[in-house]
Amino acid sequence: MNHPDVIQSFERVSSDIVDKAKTYQAAILADVAGRRGTMHARVAPVDYRMALAGPAFTVEVRPGDNLMIHAAIAMAKPGDILVIDGKGDGTAALMGTLMLSACKHLKLGGVVLDAAVRDRAELLELNFPVFSAGFNPAGPTKYIPGRINHPISAGGVSVRPGDLVVGDADGVVVIERHKAAEALELAAKKVADEAARLEAIARGDTASKWLPAALRAAGLLKEGETI
């Protein structure tokens, strides 16, 4: 397909980084990314046990139309995460069992859709990670052009082709491709720090060392006062 709205070649976050990212919670990655890059809570897994990690393959559609999603499925590579800007529309489902079964067969890494899906009960049995902004039994149209592998906004977050996308029970976080390696290094340190804190809590040390200073800074504690 030779059209300026459809980009077929782009640099993806490396498979090594994707494999490492799969070992971290989305919350850990969101924290080390400065609490940026997390999608709106409306974009949630169909089942809380679903998880995904991989490079973003971006799609922009007009509300209620899924023509470009069909094209994206045909173009995406194994491991790619389809990240679809459906404008948060909930008036019609843009994907269902048939399309998502095709995604699974093609070994895509998952789908993140800022719009509705359908066939919820069947998707629970499909064993393929799907994150959506809700459900609607109505089907879409299939004739309005859109864009593939251009920068998009999905769930209130900027997503570029090839960015690292990680999703789990808490939701979806997007890490810019060129920042992903650094984020994973910071994630390893944060996991170690949190493990040490959990050990301290188990020993009975439940007080947060940073809290008194924060309360003083907020004017809630005077110098010399304690909680």
- Express each pLDDT in 53-88 by its tens digit: 999 999 999 999 999 999 999 999 999 999 999 999
Q: Note whether 69 and 94 are within 8 A (CB).
A: yes
Rounded to 5 degrees, φ, ψ at 202 are -60, -25
Q: Note whether 39 and 114 are within 8 A (CB).
A: yes
* Predicted TM-score of the model (pTM): 0.93
Mean pLDDT in the chain? 95
156: left (phi over 0), alpha (psi -120 to 50) or beta: left
What is the pLDDT confidence band of residue 222, given thresholds at 50, 70 and 90? confident
- Largest Cα separation within the chain, whole Å, is 70
Please, what are the domains in the chain?
15-184 (3.50.30.40)
DSSP state of 3: B
> What kind and span of H or E run contains 39?
none
226 pLDDT more than 80: no
Please write the tens of the pLDDT for every residue from 99-142: 999 999 999 999 999 999 999 999 999 999 999 999 999 999 99
Rounded to 5 degrees, φ, ψ at 20 are -70, -40
